[in-house]
């Protein structure tokens, strides 16, 4: 036995030192770390406050909002983490995972200090319209400086995964779809009533879009707008006839019904559809045609459909958040969501797609209504403010023409005039700030120097900081008092950092998503990283949000 031991040890040493020959392990696709959905549908409901979920909950059907909330994951405490809360910045932030500080979309329009003129967030004079000869087709995402999660999916799949963007509003279709989209489509009303795009994407409309535009579907919605249910049941809203609503030209009262064929000519032709829930129905119709026509979700490579419902914003601006018109619009939107989900079940397959639903901003109660119930609120006139400010600067410094623009609650200096009249910009910033703080209905003021030198982490200061783009933003930023707006005395608007504008729905549903809810604080900029993590793709290059692990299945 002792003689055999050295031989045994020698054999053992040789076997340990020899290269190990192993059979390669075959891993099934089911056990891969990222078994991806066939289709991601990102839904942005324009101007949707979070409380529209709870306010109308009992009136929703079972297969729309209730299906998403009940079978998906509801982040109940999601907020925008920047100012200003407008449509352009909102759509860009949802899809890029970054704030205006990163993606550069600081408003729908903003003053370009280098050209000395106002620019539109999606405007692009270097592209040509497709599907129309109108300048409404001269649009692209070229002013958005970062990628969207849809861009990252295109890069990750070597451009094989498709991206299609759809919205009535051009910016609602273009910014989410990103720079690499196969196409983005928006609705051109007026006397045409067609879906269009630009040659940034394609040189001519695909056959399915041409067929849709010729189908008569748009004309089918030019009909009276009546309440979906009996008017007496709309108890989650104020009275139908109030002085807080804008209404349509050609109709004296803001009361149901609205005869759209009769009002069409005096309200922009087909544009009137945007300000009714029929605009959302038309958007769903076109989205279903896109899924069919583009064969979205029909193979193993993830596609994206970026979908924005714009009519909710038009209705809110016109009639206000407490109106019967808004309630009816959301009850009808609930049916549109149910129709979309049923179509996805049929065409892509239940469990094969992922949906998220959010908003681009909220909205304020009409201040004139709030005043009637003794809640502090009001209106601010920037023309009066500018006149008083320029008079103050002249009296204090002897200089004039130093203010070149005031927009989006920002004051822009004319640096050529400052140099010519030998005025120090930092001193002028402080001077304007102190004047503003003494002006009625202005709550706070911050200078460019403050935002460039201080890293704010809490409060409205932090929101301003995240919305401040060093190259594009102004020299003094103003914050009006809560529920004080620069707007007409009818209808609602948005743009502030207060909860009524920042608190938005954030619902995830479908493939890879847990069922449940959370009151954990989340930022809207967390959506894109969460979808990126679900797909296993790189985060958008300017994303500052974090993936929400709580919503994702293990």
User: Whose structure tokens read 């009940």?
Assistant: 70
- What pLDDT digit, counting tens, does each position of 395-416 carry? 999 999 999 999 999 999 999 9
pLDDT tens per residue, range 113-127? 999 999 999 999 999
Contacts (Cβ under 8 Å, ≥6 apart) of 41: 304, 305, 307, 340, 344, 353, 354, 355, 356
Q: Is the pLDDT of residue 48 over 70?
A: yes
Q: Check whether 312 has a pLDDT greater than 80.
A: yes
Q: Give the DSSP H or E segment for 94.
A: helix 87-96
Indicate whether 10 pLDDT > 90: no
What integer pLDDT is reported at residue 4 of this predicted model?
A: 40
Which pTM was predicted? 0.93
Q: What is the DSSP letter of 298?
A: -
Position 443 scores a pLDDT of: 97
The catalytic residue positions are 87
DSSP per residue over 218-284, as a string?
A: HHHT-S-B--SS-GGG-TTS--SS-TT----TT-SS--S-B-HHHHSGGGTBGGGGGGSTHHHHHHH
What pLDDT is attached to residue 31? 44
Residue 465 has pLDDT above 50, yes or no: yes
Percentage of residues of the chain with pLDDT beyond 70: 94
Query: Residue 29: is its pLDDT beyond 70?
Result: no
CA-based angle 254:363:342, to the nearest 5? 85
Map out the domains of the chain with their CATH numbers.
39-367+496-551 (3.40.720.10), 381-440+442-480 (3.30.1360.150)
The count of other CB atoms within 10 Å of the CB of residue 300 is: 9
**Chain segment 258-291, per-residue pLDDT in tens:** 999 999 999 999 999 999 999 999 999 999 999 9
- Give yes or no for residue 93 having a pLDDT over 80: yes
pLDDT at 272: 98
* Cα–Cα distance for residue pair 151/253, rounded to 1 Å: 46
Q: State the Cα–Cα distance between residues 418 and 424, nearest whole angstrom.
A: 7
> Is the pLDDT reported for residue 355 higher than 60?
yes
pLDDT category at 89 given cuts 50, 70, 90 is: very high
Is the pLDDT at 5 greater than 90? The verdict is no
- pLDDT tens readout for residues 492-506: 999 999 999 999 999
Task: Say what the pLDDT of residue 35 is.
Answer: 77
N residues, the chain: 554
Q: What pLDDT score was predicted for residue 303?
A: 98
191 has pLDDT over 60: yes
């Amino acid at each position: 036995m002792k003689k055999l031991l050295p031989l045994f040890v020698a054999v053992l040493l040789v076997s340990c030192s020899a290269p190990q020959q192993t059979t390669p392990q075959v891993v099934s696709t089911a056990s891969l770390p990222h078994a991806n959905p066939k289709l991601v549908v990102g839904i942005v409901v324009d101007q949707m406050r979070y409380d529209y979920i709870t306010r109308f909950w009992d009136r929703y059907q079972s297969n729309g909002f209730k299906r998403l909330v009940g079978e998906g994951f509801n982040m109940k405490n999601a907020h925008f983490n920047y100012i200003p809360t407008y449509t352009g910045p909102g759509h860009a932030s949802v899809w890029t995972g970054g704030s205006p500080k990163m993606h550069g979309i600081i408003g729908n329009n903003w003053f370009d200090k280098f050209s000395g003129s106002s620019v539109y967030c999606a405007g692009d004079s270097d592209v040509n319209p497709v599907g129309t000869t109108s300048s409404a087709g001269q649009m692209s995402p070229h002013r958005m400086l970062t990628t969207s999660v849809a861009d990252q999916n295109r890069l990750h799949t070597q451009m094989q995964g498709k991206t299609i963007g759809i919205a009535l509003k051009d910016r609602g279709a273009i910014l989410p779809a990103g720079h690499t989209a196969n196409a983005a489509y928006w609705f051109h009303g007026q006397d045409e009533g067609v879906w269009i795009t630009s040659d940034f994407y394609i040189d001519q409309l695909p056959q399915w879009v041409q067929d849709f535009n010729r189908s008569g579907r748009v004309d089918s919605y030019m009909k009276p707008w009546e309440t979906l249910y009996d008017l007496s049941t709309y108890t989650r809203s104020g009275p139908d006839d109030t002085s807080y609503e804008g209404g349509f030209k050609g109709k004296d009262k803001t009361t149901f019904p609205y005869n759209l064929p009769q009002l069409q000519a005096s309200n922009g032709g087909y544009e009137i559809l945007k300000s009714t829930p029929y605009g959302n129905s038309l958007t769903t119709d076109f989205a279903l045609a896109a899924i069919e026509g583009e064969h979205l979700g029909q193979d193993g490579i993830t596609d994206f459909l970026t979908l924005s419902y714009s009519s909710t914003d038009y209705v809110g601006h016109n009639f206000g958040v407490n109106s019967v018109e808004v309630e009816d619009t959301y009850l009808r939107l609930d049916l549109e969501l149910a129709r979309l989900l049923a179509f996805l079940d049929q065409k892509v397959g239940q469990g094969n797609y992922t949906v998220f639903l959010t908003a681009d901003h909220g909205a304020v109660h009409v201040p004139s209504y709030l005043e009637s119930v003794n809640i502090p609120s009001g209106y601010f006139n920037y023309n009066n403010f500018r006149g008083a400010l320029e008079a103050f600067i002249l009296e204090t410094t002897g200089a004039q023409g130093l203010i070149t623009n005031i927009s989006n609650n920002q004051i822009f200096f004319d640096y050529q005039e400052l140099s010519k009249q030998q005025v120090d910009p930092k001193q002028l910033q402080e001077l304007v700030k102190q004047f503003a703080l003494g002006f009625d209905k202005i709550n706070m003021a911050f200078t460019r120097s403050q935002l460039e030198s201080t890293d704010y982490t809490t409060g409205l200061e932090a929101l301003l900081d995240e919305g401040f783009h060093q190259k594009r933003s102004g020299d003094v930023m103003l914050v009006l008092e809560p529920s004080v707006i620069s707007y007409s005395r009818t209808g609602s608007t948005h743009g502030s950092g207060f909860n009524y504008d920042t608190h938005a729905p954030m619902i995830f549903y479908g493939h890879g998503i847990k069922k449940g809810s959370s009151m954990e604080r989340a930022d809207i900029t967390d959506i894109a990283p969460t979808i990126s993590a679900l797909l296993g793709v790189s985060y958008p290059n300017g994303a500052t949000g974090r993936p929400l692990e709580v919503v994702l299945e293990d």
